[in-house]
Amino acid sequence: MRVLVTGGAGFIGSHLCEALLHSGHTVYCLDNFDPFYAPGIKRANLANLIDKSEFTLLEGDILDVSFLNLLFSSYRLDQVIHLAAKAGVRPSLLEPGLYQRVNVEGTANILEQCRLHSVNKVIIASSSSVYGESKNIPFTESEGALKPISPYAASKLATEGLGFTYHHLYGMDVVMLRFFTVYGPRQRPDLAITKFANLISQGLPIPVYGDGSTARDYTCITDIVSGIMACTRRSFGYEIINLGESKTVTLKYLIELLEKNLGQKAKIEWLPLQPGDVPFTCADISKAALLLDYSPGTQIESGISSFLPWFNDNKSLLFPQPAPLCP
């Protein structure tokens, strides 16, 4: 099978490209190497793939329709897994228009190219952030009247609407995967686990917004990839599916795990809660279990233990030290 993975050089995308290649598929990895974080990190993510005969790296932007048309015309694709997006809740507050263009218009461009070039199967990354401050715990896909509380979350909810529209109008097979907080090797340097590990290891204070009681459904990258891979083997019509761990971890406990594994005590800078941040996430994964045989198997304790060796090996790439000043 010939699969296009957009955002394929990123955290989730690079792991997914590896899994697809391991399963015998031909992989086309599309990435624009956005400088949101150092492009060298993304290139390192692909270091073990770049020379494989069944892997092709395509550098381009999902907002460039001419480029996309050439790509889809040049390669006879069987499926598209669309992960490319502007990420992050807090940055979206500063550039809401950019988040709408990349995430919504970019998704529309991908879906339209699939229509024009008869690619009937599309898997699209959504986010648990679409649930906003829902009090219905755990979060279920059937919940109506969702109220996203950040431009990022709003953009992801809009992509779900686009996915349904293309299914309804053109019969495309579309699945929207609501990822809960994903962690593991290759996690972005701006995300809490990586950032906190760096600051704690240097003896620097970590910023904690609120009182540490906020909780997330942390989901290991291996479980997320297994869920995506299951989607490639099934047909759905149109479905929205949660991919999470279905257990919550408080920020306080996460910090305790990092302290234990790093052998260092965290210095904490207590700060007010931030606009756009949701206080709690927890996935109902019964639908994923039914449709995908999804069964996450990595607890946060073992997940953090397996993350830190990668972090220690790549710390200088993730957080390069400034060059010393010339005398």
Q: Is 130 exposed, middle or buried (0-12, 13-18, 19+ CB in 10 A)?
A: buried
Find the DSSP H helices in the chain.
11-22, 39-45, 65-74, 89-94, 96-100, 106-116, 151-170, 192-201, 221-232, 251-262, 286-292, 300-318
Do 153 and 93 contact (CB within 8 A), yes or no?
no
Catalytic annotation present for 152: yes
Q: Which two tokens stand for residue 24?
A: 């015998």
The Cα 152–Cα 134 span in angstroms is 16
Question: DSSP state, 130?
Answer: G
Catalytic residue among 131, 152, 218, 294: 152
As a residue count, the chain comes to 327
Do 150 and 276 contact (CB within 8 A), yes or no?
yes
Q: Provide the edge-to-edge strand list for the sheet that holds 121-127.
A: 55-59, 26-31, 2-6, 79-82, 121-127, 173-179, 238-243
The Cα 323–Cα 51 span in angstroms is 32
End-to-end CA distance of the chain: 58
Q: Is the dihedral of CA 195, 199, 201, 202 positive or negative?
A: positive
Q: Name the residues annotated as catalytic.
A: 152
